[in-house]
Structure 1
Amino acid sequence: MKKWLLLTISCISLLGLAGCGKSVEEQINIGVASAQTVFEESPREPNKKIGQIELYLPSGYSIKETDDENNYILSKGKDKYILFVNVNEKEDSQLHYDLLKNNSTKKIVKEQPVELDGAFGFTMVLEHDEGQFELIASSGGVKVSTISNNKHMDNKLVEMMLIARSVEVLY
Structure 2
Amino acid sequence: MNRNWIHVVLAAALGLMLAGCGKTIEEQITEGVASAATTFESKAPAPTTEVGKIKVYLPPAYHVEEGANEMNYIFTKGRDSFILFVNTIEAEDSRLYYDNLINDTSLNIIEKETFEFKEAFGFTAVIEHSEKEYELIVSSGGVKMTTIAEDKKIDEKLTEMMEVVRSVQVQK
TM-score normalised by length of structure 2: 0.89
Map of 1:52 onto structure 2: 53
Map of 2:5 onto structure 1: none
1: CA distance between counterparts of 2:113 and 2:79? 27
1: CA distance between counterparts of 2:20 and 2:143? 30
2: CA distance between counterparts of 1:156 and 1:127? 15
Deviation of the 1:69 alpha carbon: 2.0
Deviation of the 1:18 alpha carbon: 2.2
Deviation of the 1:17 alpha carbon: 5.9
Counterparts of residues 148-167 of structure 1 (less than 5 Å): 148-167=149-168
Map of 1:31 onto structure 2: 32
Map of 1:6 onto structure 2: none
Map of 2:90 onto structure 1: 89
Question: Which amino acid letter does the alignment assign opposite residue 121 of structure 1?
Answer: G
Structure with bigger gyration radius: 2
In structure 2, runs of 5+ residues without a counterpart are: 1-11
Map of 2:42 onto structure 1: 41
2: CA distance between counterparts of 1:163 and 1:19? 28
Bigger CA drift: 31-40 or 129-138? 129-138
Question: Which amino acid letter does the alignment assign opposite residue 167 of structure 2?
Answer: S
Map of 1:108 onto structure 2: 109
SS of aligned partner of 1:67? strand
- Which digits, 9 at most, give the CA deviation of each residue in 1:123-167, with x for residues without a partner? 100111231000011111000100001000000000000000000
Residue-pair matches, total: 161
- Give the 4+ runs in structure 1 shifted more than 6 A: none
2: CA distance between counterparts of 1:74 and 1:17? 33
Map of 2:140 onto structure 1: 139
Bigger CA drift: 54-63 or 65-74? 65-74
| Distance change >3 Å, CA 19–CA 156, structure 1 → 2 | farther
SS of aligned partner of 2:130? coil
- Percent identity for Structure 1 against Structure 2: 51
Map of 1:168 onto structure 2: 169
Deviation of the 1:67 alpha carbon: 1.8
SS of aligned partner of 2:28? helix
1: CA distance between counterparts of 2:130 and 2:157? 18
Question: Which amino acid letter does the alignment assign opposite residue 54 of structure 1?
Answer: K
Bigger CA drift: 128-137 or 75-84? 128-137
1: CA distance between counterparts of 2:164 and 2:68? 21
In structure 1, runs of 5+ residues without a counterpart are: 1-9
Map of 1:3 onto structure 2: none
Question: Which amino acid letter does the alignment assign opposite residue 56 of structure 2?
Answer: L
Question: Which amino acid letter does the alignment assign opposite residue 22 of structure 1?
Answer: K
